[in-house]
């Protein structure tokens, strides 16, 4: 018997990544991530935010200004957070679902951790050097990346 409300694994894990993104305090760019094992279990989650022990209210969230006045020197990206949050010892062969294509720094961590596939929702910074470098490294390391294909159905969750 098929249920109408059944979602596939890509929908499930991307949904979890999108829900995780809502934890981010970043007023401009909320990014979420879900790492799934080869047997479709959640290994770890992450979102872009400050390191543990650093108050969201005491550090800048600005996009412009001197480097020390912007968020860029402080924020941990969702992918790195998920890798660092992983409680096990091996992510080899996992898939990472992320709402925004990984930057070059996150690509390094993804490659080093053994993750073999990236499923991303958006690639809004595709023309930046960081994403171009990311794709170059991922291709060289034989990490597959593919754009998530949404089902275009709305799922409402009451919290």
Please provide the DSSP assignment of 2-27 as one string: --TT---HHHHHHHHHHHHHTT---S
Strand-pair category, 95-100 with 144-147: unpaired
d(CA 44, CA 103): 19
Residues 101, 122 contacting (CB under 8 angstroms): yes
Q: 79 an active-site residue?
A: yes
78-85 vs 104-113: helix crossing angle, rounded to 10 = 30
Which of 69, 79, 117, 158 is catalytic? The answer is: 79
Catalytic residue numbers, as ranges? 79
């Amino acid at each position: 018997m098929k249920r109408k409300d059944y979602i596939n694994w890509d929908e499930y894990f991307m949904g979890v990544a999108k829900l995780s993104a809502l934890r981010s305090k970043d007023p401009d760019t909320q990014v979420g991530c879900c790492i799934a094992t080869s047997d479709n279990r959640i290994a770890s989650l992450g979102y872009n935010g400050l390191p543990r022990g650093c108050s969201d209210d005491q550090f800048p969230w600005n996009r412009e200004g001197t480097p020390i006045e912007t968020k860029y020197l402080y924020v941990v990206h969702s992918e790195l957070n998920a890798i660092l949050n992983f409680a096990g010892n091996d992510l080899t062969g996992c898939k990472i679902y992320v709402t925004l294509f990984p930057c070059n720094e996150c690509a390094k961590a993804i490659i080093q951790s053994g993750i073999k596939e990236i499923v991303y929702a958006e690639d809004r910074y595709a023309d930046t050097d960081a994403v171009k470098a990311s794709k170059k490294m991922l291709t060289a390391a034989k990490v597959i990346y593919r754009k998530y294909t949404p089902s275009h159905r709305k799922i409402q969750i009451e919290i």
